[in-house]
Amino acid sequence: MNFELDETQEMIRDSVRSFVAGRVSQPAMKWNEGHGDAREALCELAGLGLLGVLVSEKAGGAGLDVLTLAISLAELARGDAGLAAMVAHHNAVALGHLLAAGYDNKPQLQRFAQGDALLCRAASEGSDHLDGATITTTATKQADGAWSLKGHKRLVPLGNLASHSIVTAMTEAGPIALLVDLDAAGVTRTLSDTLVGLRTCDLADLTFEAVAVPEANFLGDAAAVASRVAALARITTAAIALGVTRAALAAGVTYSLERKQFGKPIARFQPIQWQTADSATELEAAELLTWRAAWQLSTSGATAHSVEKAAIFALESAQKVADRALQMHGGYGYTVDFPVERHFRDAATLRILADGPDVQRVAIAKGLATGANGVR
């Protein structure tokens, strides 16, 4: 048993870390206030090879595994969770779907993998769904073999910046996925409402009005790849949650060492120490769960719901740790001048990136009931 990162993983982690220090931490404050966007940072991340992490080198990607992607995302999220959310979406959810579906248009795949174009995946619909369980978007086969796509998708990450979107739609034969050019006639993109957190993340509502999609862009049965895509969404969301947790913990520790009340640094008061200790312990547990699940996804793919366990724990830890860190900042924590205010909002918004913890709890319990988890 070995808990160490390999050389490549360390190298990538360090390069993302220095990228965050130099190019993300400062502008993140502005991006989250709605001043400017992170487009340039995304281009620079493409240069670092971070937009095609899971795509094979032959196909123009970095050819790395899910664990390495998760490590990179956790680092990136320390600087800005919304930026990390876009990178996770492109790599794991959108390209992850494309790869799982066996997409083999090499030039197009290469454009996405090298970040020359961004790809998104539009699944969720309706105001009361986060998980895209019900699909009302429809695709109808035309006489010429092309598909006609009609429907509305909400809160699609990268929906404004991407050139293409994978779109899930219902047909008479069940749910399918199509690769849709977002500049095609009949596509309307609008900026989604501003959410409580993740404000750097580009989100769009997409409307498809009889959009013609060529037959070659048919990606097959959406249900067949659903569990792989869901696992990738969950694990990358867990990784982003880790980044938020780590950033919040660090912010709390730093602040509590600087701030003095009653003649000493507040870090010397026991309630602050307990909070810090609990936060550090939860971070460690969340990290181990997440790395292990990511490693399993990279190797066997059989996970005994370790992905769900990691995602639930990491998401909930992020909320707790951000909450404690904010508390340590006193009044300052309530102002936008300190990043901890953003961590607190981001932590509660992360669930839009994958289905929420309660849905995942049910999945774990069902797994236990069938014995698939190996407990019985």
Partner 1 sequence: MMDFLPNADELRIQGLARSYARGPLAERAAAHDAGAFPTASVLGLAGFGLMGIKSPVALGGLGGTNVAYVLAIREVAQVCASTAVTMAVTNMVGDMLLQFGTAAQQERWLRPLLTGAFTAGAFALTEPSAGSDAASLGTKAVLSDDGNTYALTGTKMWITSGDVAGVILVMAKTDADAGARGISAFLVDPASAGFSVGRHEQKMGLKGSSTVSLTFDGVKVPVEDRLGPEGIGFRIAMTALDGGRCGIGAQALGIAQASLDAVLASMAARKRDDRALGTDQAAAFRIADMATRMEAAWLMVLRASALKDAGQRMSREAAMAKVFATEAAGFVTKTAMGLASAADLRTDSPIGRAYRDARVARIYEGTSEVQRIVIARELVRAS
Ligand X SMILES: Cc1cc2nc3c(=O)[nH]c(=O)nc-3n(C[C@H](O)[C@H](O)[C@H](O)COP(=O)(O)OP(=O)(O)OC[C@H]3O[C@@H](n4cnc5c(N)ncnc54)[C@H](O)[C@@H]3O)c2cc1C
Chain positions contacting ligand X, by CB under 6 A: 259, 261-262, 266, 269, 271-272, 327-328, 330-331, 334
Q: Which of residues 4-63 bind partner 1 (CB under 8 A)?
A: none
Q: Which amino acid is at 70?
A: A
264 — phi, psi (to 5°)? -150, 165
Distance in angstroms (rounded) separating the CA atoms of residues 251 and 267: 12
Q: Which of partner 1, ligand X, none does residue 359 bind (CB under 5 to 8 Å by kind)?
A: partner 1
Each residue 197-236 as x (binds partner 1 by CB under 8 A) or -, in order, gives ----------------------------------------
- Tokens representing 65 are 């595994």
Smallest distance from ligand X to CB 330, Å: 2
Q: Is 183 in the site for partner 1 (CB under 8 A)?
A: no
Distance in angstroms (rounded) separating the CA atoms of residues 59 and 306: 30
- Tokens representing 308 are 């769900």
* In the complex, residue closest to ligand X by CB: 330
Distance in angstroms (rounded) separating the CA atoms of residues 179 and 120: 10
CB 293 within 8 A of CB 306: yes
Smallest distance from ligand X to CB 86, Å: 32
> Of the candidates 149, 351, 353, 354, which one interacts with partner 1 according to CB under 8 A?
351
| Residue 2 or 270 with smaller CB distance to partner 1 | 270
* C-alpha angle 181-91-219 in degrees, rounded to nearest 5: 45
CB 219 within 8 A of CB 101: yes
Each residue 89-128 as x (binds partner 1 by CB under 8 A) or -, in order, gives -----------------------------------x-xxx
Smallest distance from partner 1 to CB 205, Å: 10
Smallest distance from partner 1 to CB 259, Å: 9
Tracing tokens 């369980």 back to the chain, one arrives at 133
# residues near partner 1 by CB under 8 A: 46
Q: Which of residues 270-309 bind partner 1 (CB under 8 A)?
A: 271-272
Give the containing element (helix H, strand E) for 213.
strand 203-213
> Of the candidates 11, 336, 369, 372, which one interacts with partner 1 according to CB under 8 A?
336
- Pairing type for strands 218-221 and 174-181 reads antiparallel
> Of the candidates 188, 190, 260, 281, which one interacts with partner 1 according to CB under 8 A?
260
What are the beta bridge partners of residue 219?
none
What are the beta bridge partners of residue 140?
148
CB 149 within 8 A of CB 180: yes
Q: Is 331 in the site for partner 1 (CB under 8 A)?
A: yes
Closest CA to 164 of 125, 225, 224, 216: 216
Smallest distance from partner 1 to CB 1, Å: 35
Question: Using alpha carbons only, how large is the chain's radius of gyration in Å?
Answer: 21
CB 373 within 8 A of CB 302: no
Q: Is 195 in the site for partner 1 (CB under 8 A)?
A: yes
What residue ranges bind partner 1 (CB under 8 A)?
124, 126-131, 133-134, 154-155, 193-196, 260-263, 269, 271-272, 319, 323, 326-327, 330-331, 333-337, 341, 344-345, 348-349, 351-352, 356-359, 361-362
